[in-house]
Amino acid sequence: MTTPNEHTQRLHDMGQSLWIDNITRTLLDDGTIERYIDEYSVTGLTSNPSIFDKAIGTGAYDDVIAAASADASDEDIFFALAIEDLQRAADLFAPINERTDGVDGWVSLEVSPELAYDTDATVAAALDLHRRAGRDNLFIKIPGTPEGLPAITKAIAAGVPVNVTLLFDADQYRAAADAFLDGVEQRISNGEDPAVDSVASVFMSRWDTAVSGQVGDDLRNTLGISVGLDVYRAYRELQDSERWQRLSGQGARLQRLLWASTSSKDPSAPDTLYVSGLAAPLTVNTMPDVTLLAFADHGSPGEPLPADGGDVDERLAAFEAAGVDVVALAGKLQSDGAEAFVASWRELIDRIRSQRQAVS
């Protein structure tokens, strides 16, 4: 019997889920993901176009691309191969999903970011992808941008589990939570089961990258964790709110908070910075392989985040005093992130097109 890694097991025992932010057919074929489950307490998985782009570039999917119908679009080919991989991953995590009654054991697939400004098209795509995948433990990723919020509400109202992505601060988190709860309330008013699962993914490392060189050494690599404290405070406040208590009493499921973009980008910073610093029960931390392996080797979870945010107001005030407009930066990070998502998507489609030409 495999003995779980002591470092990752400690985080798991605190009540935080460790997910891997990676998927390739190679990782599925060679048993790596199964090993992560058995040895490192990994209980879920996220994916994005950049991850698939890199994997497709290795030639790992050339046989799938070569076998595609000439009538299939490049986007059709992507979703076909992505769904196949995520179905296999979902099956690996299905026992965890069943054991936790749907709280854990999830995988995620993203809708095309080209649909970002079309609510109805986004919802239609979410419904179609979830139906085609045929797995109850598969989230559809929809960005929590102002344009994406109505689609999140409609998707939840339609019963589609949603991973709300591209969130950066407490205000954006609250907006995503409201969109989720609006969808749940619609289901209740329609006499439908309100237990539709969701996570709210807040991106962390980009904060410190954005202010690198603009603040002194005393504030270096501390903004991400400070924002995380503020978000976690908002998360706990929502759990204590009358609105949530009412919905919970009617059978609704909590939208769990997920920490994303948790690999350290500064070589001088601890490589487990956004794992040790964001330990908290009933949350998720999704991380790339390199961060997972680093934490398994030498990581140690810090004290759980304080429900009231601790000294977060003083921490954020220090950045404001240093000339950082945190609210404005959150908006810029989200808009820049949305543009980057579109760019990554187009690179992925271009990659498939070029691979298709090469194998034909």
Give the list of residues 6+ apart from residue 201 with CB closer than 8 angstroms, or none: 46, 141, 163, 164, 165, 166, 167, 258, 259, 260, 286
The sign of the CA dihedral 207, 221, 22, 257 is: negative
Q: Which of 54, 141, 154, 265 is catalytic?
A: 141
90: Cβ contacts below 8 Å, ≥ 6 apart: 106, 107, 133, 135, 137, 138
Q: Which helix (H) or strand (E) holds 317?
A: helix 312-321
The Cα–Cα gap between 158 and 156 comes to 5
Rounded-to-10 torsion of CA 184, 158, 330, 267: 110
**What CA–CA distance (Å, rounded) separates 82 from 60?**
12
Sign for the pseudo-dihedral over CA of 34, 40, 45, 49: negative
Nearest to 45 by CA among 99, 109, 116: 109
- Is there a catalytic annotation at residue 332? no
End-to-end CA separation in angstroms for the chain = 46
Q: What is the dihedral of CA 188, 232, 92, 69, to 10 degrees?
A: 70
Quick one: which H or E segment has residue 42? Answer: strand 42-45
C-alpha 297/C-alpha 310 separation (Å) is: 29
Enumerate the active-site residues. 141
